Every structure is written in structure tokens, then in C-alpha cells.
């Protein structure tokens, strides 16, 4: 696996695919800078070697058309501030104007190209477009894990034009190693905590990790499909009725493989999907009609705690309650604390997938876990056992 450390960038232009698809407010201010901060070490390594950096990214979904609201020009100042170097900007990513800007780039300078997705050829993985992008650098660096599962021109196809001059940036290398630690080299006992609303969205992950984990903790909305499958009453809780056979199949496979499955035993039930609803603690399989489970109950959390704190490797993907509502966030906060405690005791913990990452950030657990993944879809596809095209392109 070639990383930045395998290259010296002296007098070289690094063409770096970053993931600057960051949220902006109505005045185009960046409201979460973590993706920019995550790319900083890669950019600085190139500059410190005596090279220059050409950054390319997408922002939003302009669908192949120029949309001024999604211009990367809006974030240029913020990128400059975070990296500590004034970042230049050019209003396209291919063509004469870009080639000129790249040609004028001095050692130690950084140039940000305009939104790649203003060109439809980016998402279609057009080879001629990728070849034009390739003219913008001497060495290709992919540091965008968030788009590594897409075979786009800038993430995958462009690598063909750098047969011996391509590598992973520090961020992408860290992501690959973190997933490997869970899926291949993790110290036992290995525990996967899977939450979220639907079994159907996690089925491939569950099937792929059953051979690797010792414990599978199931929480969140998925719980009720399993409970109903086992003959329990789930009231008005979210439930995929057509997936009950699948849930039983998962439990059977887990038993065959010696994986301990930990389902909630009690829940915080509410009489409406509302922060101000009436609530009560009920057994998970005795939720009355008109009530729905919205968070893990106290006995469930105690059971989860015992499993999590004695784990040596932990994967956390998905909240265990409706954490967006304060009344139903306590279970997810508790799980975060348990994972933090295990990490402090020497466990390796990886958090990935949109909602669990959002929860970790919201409740301040970022520094209490080993690694928070920057890529939602890419992370999930890795856990499903798929080879991501953006990673394969650098390895090939």
C-alpha cells in the first residue's frame, strides 16, 4: 500500500483528491470544518517536502451543471485559514485557464480547483475528462475516503494516468487501517454495535461481520423487527414486517458461528414520536398498542455495558435510540460512554456511518474513541466486504 511517505514531493505538483464536500449555511460559511482539517496533514507533507498542491473536490450535487451556490470558491478562505497557507482558486477544474494556473504554481503554494461535479463527466467516470485532470499534477494522491466507493473520474479513473506515481493520503490510509483493524487484525473479543432504523440497510454488513465478531449488539429501530420475529409485541414501533424471516435467519447463523447476539430487553416507550410524549419503561417484547420504543431501557444499557467494556475491538455503526430528540438520546450517550471507557482501557474503537458519527460529534465523544470515519457510504461498503474502486485504483 503506497502512501505519501513513499514519495518525496520536492519540485513536484501533487494532484490531491480531497473531500471538501462540507456543509454551508445560507451565507456560505462552512458549518463543519472537520473534513478540511482531516486533509491538512496530507497537504502540509507535500509543501514541507518542497512541492506544491493542486486540490480537487466536489461540493453538493450540481448534477453536471454550473451552480454558483455550490462553488468551492465559497470555502477557499476557510481552507486557507485551516491549512495556514493562502489557497489560490481557479474557476474550473480542466482547460486552458486551469493549466495556466497550475503552470504558475510555485513551490509551497496551494491551488483549489472548481467543483468537479460542474462537469457531468466526473460522475460518469469519463476517461478523457480524467486525462485532462491528470495534466494538473505529477503525482496523484487520493485522500478522499468519503468518495472512495464511487468510480468517478477524479477518484478512480484518473489513477490510470499515474501508473507508478499514485498513493494514498494520510487520511485515506488511516481509514483503510482502521477498517482492517476491525475486520482482519482486531484483538478479541470483537464487538459490533449496530443501530439505526432498518435491518434491510445493515443486512450485508451483518452477514459479512458474523465471521469476524464475538459479540453483536443490536439497537435502535432494527430491534423491533428481531423482537417481532421472535413472537414479541412491538406496539407501534418501527418494524419491517417483511424482514422477520431474515432476522430469524441472522440469529440462527450467529448461533451457528458462536456469535453472542445482544438484543435490548427493555425500552423507553412513548405514546407519540415526539420529545414531549408520555413515556414509560417496558419490556421490549411487551410494548402496548399505541406505544413505540424510542430508546434503550436501563437494564438493556447495563447488559450492553458489560459486553462493551470487556471488548478489545469495537465497531459502532448506528445509534440505539432517536438521539435527535433529547428525551430519547440517553441510550446513545450511554453507549458512547461505554465505548469511551473501553477505549481508555486499551480497546480499539471505530465509529462509522452517518448517524453514529453525528451522535459522536453532537455529544463530544470524538476524543474518547480511537477513530471516527469520515465516509458514510464508503465505510458501510467496506464493512460489507466490498473492494472500493477508489482504493483498488491506487493498489492496482
Say if residue 13 carries a ligand binding annotation.
Answer: no
Q: Of 245, 229, 228, whose CA–CA distance to 237 is shortest?
A: 228
C-beta separation of 152 from 114 below 8 A: no
241 annotated to a ligand binding site: no
For 293, other C-beta atoms within 10 Å of its C-beta total: 29
- pLDDT tens across 72-112, in order? 999 999 999 999 999 999 999 999 999 999 999 999 999 99
- The pLDDT of residue 354 is 63
HSE, CB side, 13 Å, CA atoms: give it for residue 182: 31
Say whether both 158 and 184 belong to one domain. no
Residue at a domain's end among 119, 134, 168: 168
Per-residue confidence (pLDDT) for residue 127, from 0 to 100? 98
Q: Dump pLDDT digits (tens) for 12-60.
A: 999 999 999 999 999 999 998 989 999 999 999 999 999 999 999 999 9
Q: Are residues 16 and 106 in the same domain?
A: yes
Residue 56: give the domain boundaries: 4-168
Q: Which of 168, 187, 207 is the last residue of a domain?
A: 168
pLDDT of residue 204: 87
Do 237 and 375 lie in one domain? The reply is yes
User: Is 293 annotated as a binding-site member?
Assistant: yes
To the question of whether residue 355 is assigned a binding role by annotation, the answer is yes
- Tell me which of 64, 73, 354, 385 is the catalytic residue: 354
Q: In terms of DSSP bridges, do strands 292-296 and 266-270 run parallel, antiparallel, or are they unpaired? A: antiparallel
Is the predicted pLDDT of residue 375 greater than 90, yes or no? no
pLDDT of residue 201: 86
Same domain, 256 and 377: yes
Judge if 211 and 90 occupy the same domain.
Answer: no
Instruction: Report whether pLDDT(379) > 80.
Output: yes
Q: Is 327 a catalytic residue?
A: no
Place of cell 500500500: 1
Is the predicted pLDDT of residue 378 greater than 90, yes or no?
A: no
In DSSP terms, which residues pair with 282 in a beta bridge? 267
Whether residue 215 is contained in a domain is answered as yes
Beta bridge partners of 111: 54, 88
Which CATH number do you get for residue 33? 3.40.50.1260
Angle in degrees, CA 258, 344, 325, rounded to 5: 80
Which whole number is the average pLDDT over 341-365? 91
Query: pLDDT (tens digit, 9 = 90+) per residue, 170-186?
Result: 999 999 999 999 888 99
Question: Pick the catalytic residue: 73, 177, 230, 377?
Answer: 377
159 and 13 both lie in a single domain: yes
Q: Nearest to residue 79, comparing CAs of 19, 134, 127? A: 19
- Could you tell me if residue 396 is inside a domain? no
DSSP per position, 29-92: -BS--HHHHHHHHHHHHHHHTT-EEEEE---S--TTS--GGG-GGGGHHHHHHHHTSPEEEES-
In a domain? residue 394: no
pLDDT digits (tens, 9 = 90+) for 273-293: 999 999 999 999 999 999 999
Q: Does residue 343 register a pLDDT over 70? A: yes
The pLDDT of residue 273 is 97
Is residue 14 a contact partner of residue 56, using CB atoms and an 8 Å limit? no
Active site residue 166: no
* 106 and 213 within one domain: no
Distances (CA, A) of 251 to 78, 88, 95, 226, 257: 48, 55, 56, 9, 10
Residue 356, annotated as binding a ligand:
yes
Q: How many CA atoms lie within 13 A of 255 on its CB side?
A: 6
Catalytic residue of the set 88, 135, 198, 253: 198
Ranking 42-51, 154-163, 223-232, 377-386 by mean pLDDT, the lowest is: 377-386
Question: Number of folded domains in the chain?
Answer: 2
With cut-offs at 50, 70 and 90, classify the pLDDT of residue 381. confident
Residue 388 located in a structural domain: no
- 121 and 236 in a single domain? The answer is no
Last residue of a domain, one of 127, 145, 168: 168
35, 78, 174, 243: which one is catalytic?
35
| Selection from 81, 80, 101 nearest residue 91 by Cα | 101
Q: Can you tell me the distance from the alpha carbon of 269 to that of 275, in angstroms, rounded to the nearest whole number?
A: 12
Instruction: Supply the pTM of this predicted model.
Output: 0.87
> Residue 27's CB: how many other CB atoms inside 10 A?
6
289 and 353 co-located in one domain: yes
Same domain (yes/no): 126, 49: yes
Q: Residue 244 and residue 378: Cα distance in Å, rounded?
A: 27
Q: Which residues contact 236 (CB under 8 A, 6 or more apart)?
A: 287, 289, 290, 291, 292
User: Does residue 61 have a known ligand-binding role?
Assistant: yes
CA-closest candidate to residue 144, choices 135, 154, 134, 131: 154
d(CA 280, CA 293): 10
Q: Per residue in 105-157, pLDDT tens?
A: 999 999 999 999 999 999 999 999 999 999 999 999 999 988 898 999 999 99
Take residue 192 and report the three cell numbers written for it.
459490533
Is 169 catalytic? The answer is: no
* Residues 32, 131 share a domain: yes
**pLDDT of 384 strictly over 90:** no
29 found inside a domain: yes
Is 324 assigned a ligand-binding role in the annotation? yes
Q: What is the pLDDT of residue 358?
A: 85
Q: Which residues partner with 371 through β-bridges?
A: 350
Q: Is 21 annotated as a binding residue?
A: yes
Examine residue 374 and state whether it is found in any structural domain, yes or no: yes
Note whether 246 and 137 are same-domain residues. Answer: no
Report residue 377's pLDDT band, with 50, 70 and 90 as the boundaries: confident
Q: How far apart are CA 190 and CA 198, in angstroms?
A: 23
Structural domain includes residue 392:
no
**13 within some domain:** yes
Per-residue pLDDT, 355:
82
For the question of residue 377 being annotated catalytic, the response is: yes
Q: Annotation-wise, does 353 bind a ligand?
A: yes
DSSP per residue, 227-258: HHHTT-EETT----GGGHHHHHHHHHHHHHTT
Cell of 377: 457510504
- Residue 150 annotated as binding site: yes
Amino acid at each position: 500500500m503506497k502512501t505519501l511517505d513513499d514519495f518525496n514531493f520536492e519540485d513536484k505538483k501533487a494532484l490531491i483528491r480531497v473531500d471538501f464536500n462540507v456543509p454551508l449555511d445560507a451565507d456560505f460559511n462552512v458549518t463543519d470544518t472537520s473534513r478540511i482539517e482531516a486533509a491538512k496533514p496530507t497537504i502540509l507533507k507535500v509543501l514541507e517536502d518542497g512541492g506544491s498542491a493542486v486540490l480537487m473536490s466536489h461540493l453538493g450535487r450540481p448534477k453536471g451543471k454550473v451552480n454558483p451556490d455550490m462553488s468551492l470558491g465559497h470555502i477557499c478562505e476557510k481552507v486557507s485559514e485551516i491549512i495556514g497557507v493562502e489557497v489560490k482558486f481557479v474557476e474550473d477544474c480542466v482547460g486552458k485557464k486551469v493549466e495556466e494556473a497550475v503552470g504558475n504554481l510555485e513551490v509551497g503554494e496551494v491551488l483549489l480547483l472548481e467543483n468537479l461535479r460542474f462537469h457531468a463527466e466526473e460522475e460518469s467516470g469519463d476517461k478523457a475528462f480524467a486525462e485532462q485532470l491528470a495534466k494538473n499534477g505529477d503525482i496523484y494522491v487520493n485522500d478522499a475516503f468519503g468518495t472512495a466507493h464511487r468510480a468517478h473520474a477524479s477518484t478512480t479513473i484518473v489513477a490510470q494516468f499515474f501508473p507508478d506515481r499514485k498513493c494514498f493520503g494520510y487520511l485515506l490510509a488511516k481509514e483503510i487501517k482502521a477498517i482492517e483493524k476491525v475486520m482482519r487484525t482486531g484483538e478479541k473479543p470483537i464487538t459490533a454495535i449496530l443501530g439505526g432504523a432498518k435491518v434491510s440497510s445493515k443486512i450485508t454488513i451483518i452477514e459479512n461481520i458474523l465471521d469476524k465478531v464475538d459479540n453483536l449488539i443490536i439497537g435502535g429501530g432494527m430491534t423491533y423487527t428481531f423482537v417481532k420475529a421472535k413472537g414479541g409485541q412491538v406496539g407501534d414501533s418501527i418494524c419491517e414486517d417483511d424482514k422477520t424471516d431474515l432476522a430469524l435467519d441472522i440469529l440462527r447463523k450467529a448461533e451457528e458461528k458462536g456469535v453472542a447476539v445482544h438484543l435490548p430487553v427493555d425500552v423507553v416507550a412513548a405514546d407519540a414520536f415526539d420529545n414531549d410524549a408520555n413515556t414509560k419503561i417496558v419490556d421490549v417484547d411487551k410494548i402496548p398498542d399505541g406505544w413505540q420504543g424510542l430508546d434503550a431501557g436501563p437494564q438493556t444499557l447495563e447488559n450492553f455495558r458489560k459486553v462493551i467494556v470487556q471488548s478489545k475491538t469495537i465497531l459502532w455503526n448506528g445509534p440505539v435510540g432517536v438521539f435527535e430528540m433529547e428525551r430519547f438520546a440517553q441510550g446513545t450517550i450511554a453507549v458512547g460512554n461505554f465505548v469511551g471507557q473501553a477505549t481508555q482501557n486499551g480497546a480499539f474503537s471505530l465509529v462509522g456511518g452517518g448517524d453514529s458519527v453525528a451522535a459522536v460529534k453532537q455529544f463530544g465523544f470524538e476524543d474518547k474513541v480511537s477513530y471516527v470515519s469520515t465516509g458514510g457510504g464508503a465505510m458501510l461498503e467496506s464493512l460489507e466486504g466490498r473492494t472500493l474502486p477508489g482504493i483498488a485504483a491506487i493498489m492496482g
